[in-house]
Structure 1
């Protein structure tokens, strides 16, 4: 098995044109995801590529390089709208996993229970992809993940960054995760809420995203619209608001349990956002 650790993006893209190349950054899901007898012919480590480990901010927003780790996120000086992402970062596995695992790897893994996806959806995040043949393209995160372990990433493409547009003034956020224990657990349900309040304390804008309750984590558009103008502390979640979700029954919980937990989590994540 060939192993490459280039420092230039152009070199990495050249390696990607080889057959069966597997991209790794933290590599925390590499061996657990392999099937018996499976072995890629080429392994591409992107952690040394110039700029991919940087978090940068400008007037347009925040750029997370593809090799940025969860620990990098928790230590970064980011606006309150990113608090949910930081809270999720502290819930990803153990401290060792947070030191090695990357935000980009979390979305490329495309698990329905990926902790980073709901807060990134609530931030209107986009994914930057680069190919030697086609150059750069940017697509919404909501369009990048298409199903369980499925993305729109082409074989010759590399995720180079996650782009988050500048948050509206006053936006705050909160994250809630339910698992069978406090740490080192796969999520049963997780919810992220980004909220802006007006001068009267009513909701001026809301973004609500729920994970582990459908094949792909998703925003609840009808709920977001109904929240506008409401007192966030008097929120009522209806079955209609949760209709886009399609939770399954598995060893971690039933679909009905997940829906009930999601309703409670939405309220908690909103209150966590506005009270921090």
Structure 2
């Protein structure tokens, strides 16, 4: 079965078919099925009304599920989104950025998905629609495991909602790969830092990707950064204990031990940039 719905209601109905697979940009689906027969129902969401674009309310930014990474890069966003923009530039080639969508990156649920750590650090929520209505899930609850999400049959992602950060908030994203471009992450880190008028850190959000089966925030480190004075490098407090709970794997790109070592470096660099200290 191939369906190309035009409304969210039609899309939700099509996605209720057993094993239904959603596609929009296709940059993850096509490579995963190269040379293999596609036996699952395919639901093309590229023509569904209301899934594109970026809008702003008094309290949040709404990134439509079908917004491409190139579209995000062209958007007028405050400095707190610099880390997300940096991640957008790392999503494959320019051609992939022109086709790949923000929701597709999340729904693919890869531990190495470039968009996840910066969105986690921005407290993003995922808007989900079905025939019975809509619901919001924190991004950390939406991705439940390796290639697994909280989507139920008959549901589609309609948007990613990010609360408006303070104008003074700054962010950064660091990705380590085997080469500079077109590479799957060995490890990546995203940070958002807010400072008071006297320079003290009033909020820090740090997320690490490709170091566990899902990207994770680092709440212990975030708490210990609160109140740090201006002129002190945030990276100076980093210790291996801050990575407790991560479970990196050995694979062809790196060993688990190397990933943990690299994670400390990436987190420190992202924090110092976001804090204006690098």
Indicate yes or no: 2:233 matched with 1:233.
yes
Aligned-pair CA distance for 1:36? 6.9
Are the equivalent residues in 1 in contact too, given 2:5–2:47 (CA < 8 A)? yes
Counterpart in the other structure of 2:128: 129
- For residues 185 and 151 of structure 1, the distance between their equivalents in structure 2, rounded to whole angstroms, comes to 24
- For residues 239 and 114 of structure 1, the distance between their equivalents in structure 2, rounded to whole angstroms, comes to 24
TM-score (norm 1): 0.94
Are the equivalent residues in 2 in contact too, given 1:128–1:159 (CA < 8 A)? yes
Q: Unaligned 5+ residue runs, structure 1?
A: none
1:1-276 matches, cutoff 5 A:
2-34=1-33, 37-132=36-131, 134-231=132-229, 232-233=232-233, 235-275=236-276
Aligned-pair CA distance for 1:35? 8.3
Q: Deviations over 1:120-168 (max 9, x none)?
A: 0000001111111x31111100001111001111121101111111113
- For residues 33 and 144 of structure 1, the distance between their equivalents in structure 2, rounded to whole angstroms, comes to 22
Are the equivalent residues in 1 in contact too, given 2:143–2:214 (CA < 8 A)? yes
- For residues 53 and 256 of structure 2, the distance between their equivalents in structure 1, rounded to whole angstroms, comes to 39
Say if 1:35 and 1:154 are closer, same or farther in 2 by CA, change over 3 A.
farther
SS at match of 1:240: helix
Are the equivalent residues in 1 in contact too, given 2:12–2:156 (CA < 8 A)? yes
- For residues 41 and 188 of structure 1, the distance between their equivalents in structure 2, rounded to whole angstroms, comes to 31
CA RMSD, 1 decimal: 1.6
Aligned-pair CA distance for 1:254? 1.2
Are the equivalent residues in 2 in contact too, given 1:21–1:40 (CA < 8 A)? no
SS at match of 1:241: helix
Aligned-pair CA distance for 1:82? 0.9
SS at match of 1:83: helix
Aligned-pair CA distance for 1:199? 2.1
- For residues 36 and 181 of structure 1, the distance between their equivalents in structure 2, rounded to whole angstroms, comes to 27
